[in-house]
Chain A
Amino acid sequence: ELKVEQNPLFLSMQEGKNYTIYCNYSTTSDRLYWYRQDPGKSLESLFVLLSNGAVKQEGRLMASLDTKARLSTLHITAAVHDLSATYFCAVDPPKLVFGQGTRLTINP
């Protein structure tokens, strides 16, 4: 059974700092997704990683995928308050399984 684990689950950081969220999964997969969710809102797609070694960047966020280690990272550079949200990774196929989510709070 596919299991997806994120850490940390809670992260409070200062603006301007860098940090990394980790996503481990238990079975072979070449597809991994990162989503952002604001309180009471839907899931917004951030990155789709489709192969080993894939790296994607958007603004202050960068995601990477190592399928051999079954590990993805979401790196935050010079955090700003607007990035405060809950971040989920998810893996498929055959069905989409989510990590527990990382609640990120960025303090001024």
Chain B
Amino acid sequence: EAQVTQNPRYLITVTGKKLTVTCSQNMNHEYMSWYRQDPGLGLRQIYYSMNVEVTDKGDVPEGYKVSRKEKRNFPLILESPSPNQTSLYFCASSPQGADGYTFGSGTRLTVV
């Protein structure tokens, strides 16, 4: 089944403890991206990647890192999480947009 898989689905962590949210797609898509969704602020892009080893900042990159060492994986790294990074996170992939974007199931992150 064609899909974007995110893990974990839910995560509660403490301020400053490094964490990684994984994202993997099995559709051979070139484009992958991360979004966060917050009440009243909608969906905002964090980082995106046009292909392997090519990443760029979205609208809200502060406090996040990404890497794209292989086509299928695009992990989101929070080196020192803070409570303002509590949010619902989505990973998405696309064959450069022509067929739209496929979203993962989401990761609900709480930083206390």
Contacts and interface: CB of A to CB of B under 8 A. Distances in A.
Contacts of A95: 33, 45, 48, 58
B33 A48 contact: no
A43 to B, nearest CB: 4
Interface stretch (A11-19, A68-76, A96-104): A96-104
Contacts of A90: 43, 101
Contacts, number: 42
Interface string B39-69: 0001111001000000000100000000000
Interface in A26-61: 31, 33, 35, 41-43, 45, 48, 50
Interface string B94-106: 0001111111111
A88 B92 CA distance: 15
B90 interface: yes
Interface string B64-105: 000000000000000000000000001010000111111111
A33 B90 contact: no
A48 B100 contact: yes
B92 A101 contact: no
A92 B45 CA distance: 12
A93 B48 CA distance: 12
Contact-size category for B: 10 to 19
Interface residues of A, number: 20
A15 to B, nearest CB: 27
A45 B42 contact: no
Max chain A C-beta neighbours (<10 A), residue from B43, B48, B97, B99 = B43
B99 A48 contact: yes
Interface of A: 31, 33, 35, 41-43, 45, 48, 50, 88, 90, 92-93, 95-101
Given A42-B105, A96-B33, A99-B42, 8 more contacts: A41-B105, A42-B90, A45-B100, A90-B43, A95-B33, A95-B45, A96-B45, A96-B92
